Structure 1
Amino acid sequence: MKRDSRLSGVLHVLLHMAEADGPVTSETMAKAMQTNPVVVRRVMAGLRDAGFVHSEKGHGGGWTIARDLADITLRDVYSALGAPEPFAMGNRADAPGCLVEQAVNAALDSAFQDAAALLLHRFGAVTLAALSADFHARMVASGKSIDLETVHAA
């Protein structure tokens, strides 16, 4: 079962961007996310449309964070990604007339809806500033220095 890791990847890159002294190119982010720069530009376009990042073209250009980290929640980023389905599990729909399947699906639907509501509530309570503070505490504790250009080099 394939998992959608875009949220995790975008949050990762956004935190690296917050540490950068200037714009970060799609190519640099693509290396960190182990993907193609075109994929990065597509994902970042949604964040730009939501007002979370800004892009500059040309020499010295790239992506920058457009808002204070305290003003961006995980839910904001999740929504900017198109609110992907949060769970890989789903209901069986092979026999919609079967009363057993209906009972099972009703119970699962209720549980999935409750879990999704709780997850989205929690996403709304966590800001990029909180993630950044956690990252900084981990960096201090580890004694390491983090640089997007080199930390993800193979």
Structure 2
Amino acid sequence: MDARLSRMLHLLIHMGRMDGPLTSDAAAVMLGTNPVVIRRTMAGLRDAGYVRSVKGHGGGWSLTCKLHEITMLDVHRALGENRIFALGPADPDPACLVEQAVNASLESALREAEILLLERLAHVSLADIAADFDQRFGELPPDDRAN
């Protein structure tokens, strides 16, 4: 399973609430990964214009726009539009007519589902996700808010 979209949405929302830049090391600790993975993944977001990086002491990654200006689809595209579904035909070029019919039906269903999913991703901003977090956090008992 490719969790890059989920991980980067998580990271970007944290970044949107920070006063200063986030280092690759700190981001790696937050996501339980390696700083090299963070830099490689953030490069696509930088190239798309959503983040910038500053090297040296006091440097790190920061957003170039507000959370309400970035959608889930924007991040998906910046990460390289990885494959949405892991489903696919057993044999992409079968001689069997039954397998051809199965492939056609499956491919049609997957295309329709992908269109719907991408449309939904286009309508959810990172600010929407952050607002959902705020609501969930506000509903926690005060003793549980420190976790």
Give your verdict on TM over 0.5. yes
* Structure 1 residues without counterparts, runs of 5 or longer: 146-150
> 3-state SS of the aligned residue for 1:46?
helix
Quick one: which amino acid aligns to residue 76 of structure 2? Y
Higher relative contact order (CA 8 A, sep 6+): 1
Deviations 1:3-36 (A, max 9, x none): 0010000001111111211100001111111111
Runs of 4+ in 1 over 6 A off after TM superposition: none
- Paired with 2:68 and 2:48, the residues of 1 have a C-alpha distance of 16
Counterpart check, 1:115 vs 2:113:
yes
In the alignment, what sits opposite 2:39?
41
Decide whether aligned partners of structure 1 residues 95 and 79 sit closer, same or farther in structure 2, where only a CA change above 3 A counts.
Answer: closer
Structure 1 CA distance, aligned partners of 2:40 and 2:63? 16
1:1-154 correspondence to structure 2 within 5 Å? 3-93=1-91, 96-142=94-140, 143=142, 144-145=145-146
Q: Secondary structure at the match of 1:21?
A: coil
Aligned amino acid, residue 62 of structure 1: G
* Paired residue secondary structure (2:62): strand
Post-superposition Cα deviations, 1:22-61, rounded to whole Å, max 9, x if no partner, equal: 1000011111111110010011010010010111110000
TM-score by structure 2 length?
Answer: 0.93
Q: Counterparts of 2:52 and 2:101 in 1: how far apart (Å)?
A: 48
Distance in 2, matches of 1:18 and 1:94, equals 43
Task: Figure out how many residues of one structure are paired with residues of the other and give that number.
Answer: 144
Identity %: 52
For structure 2, the residue ranges without an aligned partner over 5 or more in a row are none
